[in-house]
Amino acid sequence: VLLGQTRCPDRLVFCDKSNDGTRERIRSHQNGADGPPVDIIDQSGDGVADAYNEILDHVAGDYDIFATVQTEISVDEEWLAGHLEVHAEHPQIEIVTGDNKENEPTDREVEPDDRPYYVGRDFSAKAGVLERIDGWDRNFLRGEDWDMRIRLAGAGTRVYAKPDLGYRKDWSDPYVTLSKAKRKPTSVSFLSKYGLWYACFHPSHVVSDGLSLVSILSAVGTILFL
């Protein structure tokens, strides 16, 4: 996906701690004559947030645009060129995101309460924007993108959404495993960080978690009663 871009990246950085052969596959393309320099970082911590932060620390002070694509998605060959074009045409914009939603086809600057304000799997940011909010929160093994959205909005970050830069998810990819699904962030994670403000900001998350808990307790109570 990345090596097939019409505008080839100036540098590729991967952070990995798996034992599934990912590193070996990357090294087979590393620093090839026809491609950009490739850096592979051995991740020391856990979770996507930690991996992102290690990459951000690795390139600190040495980049103009930080663009990211997660492993389970695909993008068009004009993806990177499109991101750079938006940044060039709108110098006041700090983050560019791909928006897949068909009923929101307009290229536009989005407000913090708009759905595509920040899409964690597909975005690009100007140098210094992510550092300004201290990157990703390593305490979130999952849901780090939603947490970042809150902090970006709090920092007044200007975001532009462009549907043509959207991504396609590869549902055959084993990225979403049962062990990762179990780490899906609950509203408790956000309430413990943001307090009751979060219940007002995203009440449906809190309510759905509460209903799920009630359903589980009811099921357990019924079994015990029987």
Lowest mean pLDDT among 56-70, 175-189, 202-216: 175-189
Quick one: pLDDT at residue 149? 93
Task: Give the three-state DSSP class for 42.
Answer: strand
Quick one: pLDDT at residue 181? 44
Quick one: pLDDT at residue 179? 46
Mean pLDDT of 138-167: 90
What are the tens digits of pLDDT across the range 193-213? 999 998 888 888 888 777 665
Backbone angles phi, psi at 195, to 5 degrees: 75, -160
What's the CA gap between 79 and 85, in Å, rounded?
Answer: 10
pTM for the whole thing?
Answer: 0.80
Quick one: pLDDT at residue 180? 47
- 61 dihedral zone (left: phi>0; alpha: psi -120 to 50; beta): left
What's the CA gap between 160 and 197, in Å, rounded?
Answer: 26
Average pLDDT in the chain: 81
Residue 65: which of 92, 34, 49, 87 has the closest Cα? 87
Mean pLDDT of 28-57: 82
Mean pLDDT of 79-93: 96
Per-residue confidence at 164, pLDDT binned at 50, 70, 90?
confident
